[in-house]
């Protein structure tokens, strides 16, 4: 299977975690787009979905799935999202699509985080293959960048990208994240950072991996 076929296989396999008469939390990104397409087959069995990005919301509507605001629900049974990297402890780097803050918000509502990826996203150490996205309030861009440099990172402003919240993204290269929980907390304490793309405090409960040999589920 090529990469797209692996993503589709993981997305299809994730449908087994969707329970009837529930509202499903949905993230964003190319693998999630495959999941939304597959979720359309269950649109008459579920109540609807909460989307972590405007782009995902539009795709859900096209599938005939009712979209709820995060403010409309007190909790979700599952949240399904992809990752840019995921380690053996099911901790992730996310934010390649600049939706990391809303993804954290929707993920925090769910009992179970189901991460769907193709096998290229599996790493031993976070930061090995993908820079760490950090969402920053625009007026703090330079001062946050200086603090990230002091921590050993090489931040790069993702120009011409504005998040759904009206903020900017700094992609931090050269971070080998040996203690994801500590790093996630420390970065979020820097004034001007809305949140960072480490998902360690709320890691995945289950990982569905599309591989060349088929789909693998890691619980």
- Annotated domain spans of the chain: 3-122+201-218, 132-197
pTM for this prediction: 0.95
Q: Does domain 132-197 have CATH number 3.30.70.260?
A: yes
Q: What is the pLDDT of residue 1?
A: 81
Summarize the annotated binding site for substrate as residue ranges: 28-31, 81-84, 94-97, 121
Q: What is the pLDDT of residue 213?
A: 92
Contact 126, 93 (CB under 8 A): yes
Instruction: Cite the active site residues.
Output: 103
Q: Known binding site: residues?
A: 28-31, 81-84, 94-97, 121
Over its length of 219 residues, how does the chain's per-residue pLDDT go in tens digits? 899 999 999 999 999 999 999 999 999 999 999 999 999 999 999 999 999 999 999 999 999 999 999 999 999 999 999 999 999 999 999 999 999 999 999 999 999 999 999 999 999 999 999 999 999 999 999 999 999 999 999 999 999 999 999 999 999 999 989 999 999 999 999 999 999 999 999 999 999 999 999 999 999
Q: Which CATH number fits domain 3-122+201-218: 2.70.70.10, 3.40.50.1360, 3.40.50.12780, 3.40.50.300?
A: 3.40.50.1360
Fold agreement (3-122+201-218, 132-197): no
Q: Beginning with the edge strand found earlier in the chain, give each strand of the sheet holding 193-196 in spatial order.
A: 154-157, 168-173, 132-136, 193-196
Report the distance separating Cα 45 and Cα 167, nearest Å. 36
- Cα-Cα-Cα-Cα dihedral sign, residues 71, 207, 180, 134: negative
- Give 51: exposed, middle or buried? Use CB within 10 Å, 0-12, 13-18, 19+: buried
């Amino acid at each position: 299977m090529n990469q797209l076929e692996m993503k589709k296989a993981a997305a299809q396999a994730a449908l087994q975690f969707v329970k009837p008469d529930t509202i499903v939390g949905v993230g964003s990104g190319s693998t999630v787009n495959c999941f939304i397409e597959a979720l359309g087959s269950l649109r008459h069995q579920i109540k609807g979905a909460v989307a972590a990005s405007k782009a995902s919301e539009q795709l859900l509507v096209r599938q005939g799935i009712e979209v709820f605001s995060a403010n409309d629900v007190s909790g979700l049974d599952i949240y399904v999202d992809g990752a840019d990297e995921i380690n053996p402890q099911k901790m992730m780097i996310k934010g390649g699509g600049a939706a990391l803050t809303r993804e954290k918000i929707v993920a925090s509502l769910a009992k179970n985080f189901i991460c769907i990826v193709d096998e290229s996203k599996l790493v031993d150490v976070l930061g090995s293959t993908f820079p760490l996205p950090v969402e920053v309030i625009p007026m703090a861009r330079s001062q946050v960048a200086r603090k990230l440099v002091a921590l050993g990172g090489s931040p790069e402003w993702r120009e011409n990208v504005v998040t759904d919240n009206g903020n900017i993204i700094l992609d931090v290269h050269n971070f080998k994240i040996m203690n994801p929980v500590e790093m996630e907390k420390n970065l979020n304490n820097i004034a001007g950072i809305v949140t960072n793309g480490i998902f360690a405090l709320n890691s995945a409960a289950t990982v569905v991996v599309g591989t060349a040999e088929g789909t693998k589920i890691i619980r």
